[in-house]
Amino acid sequence: MTVTQHALQFENARFATNIVSAEAERYRLYATGLGVLYEGDCLEILPFIQDETVDTIFADPPFNLAKNYGSKITDELPDDKYINWCKEWLWECTRLLKPGGSLFVYNLPKWNLILGNYLLEMGLLLRHWIAINIK
């Protein structure tokens, strides 16, 4: 058996242009021909992106475990406030997804059960539950 490893090929990739309004420029951190990296609160940046323009979103929010991420992030909210905050950015994510697009949310099962139900109510289809074991 022969195993061949292939690198990702971006030579013929087509990246969307002009899907982010000029107001987002203040959040631009880095840019190449392959895309742009923005730094900031997603609830401030996502509204600048046009509807139904994103193929895949991967979200890895703070887990609300009282970790210290620095002065700009609160990771110890009452449960209801944490869920409401998650629903805000999830609503933005669903707005951005193209039809047939994918949303991956990396969080604790405790939260993903609630948030998964919210996404079902928003019309998304749950395809898979990916579990990992971190020691």
- All domains of the chain, ordered by start, with CATH? 22-121 (3.40.50.150)
Give the model's pLDDT for residue 135: 77
Q: What is the pLDDT of residue 125?
A: 93
**d(C-alpha 101, C-alpha 56), whole Å:** 6
pLDDT at 116: 96
Per-residue confidence at 28, pLDDT binned at 50, 70, 90?
very high
Can you give the pTM of this predicted structure? 0.85
Model confidence at 45: pLDDT above 90: yes
Per-residue pLDDT for 21 more than 80? yes
pLDDT at residue 14, as a whole number: 67
Span 66-119, pLDDT tens digits: 999 887 788 999 999 999 999 999 999 999 999 999 999 999 999 999 999 999
Listed residue (87, 84, 133) closest to 109, CA to CA: 133
Rounded to the nearest integer, the mean pLDDT of the chain is 90
Estimate the share of the chain in helix, then strand, then coil, as percent rounded to the nearest 5: 35, 20, 50
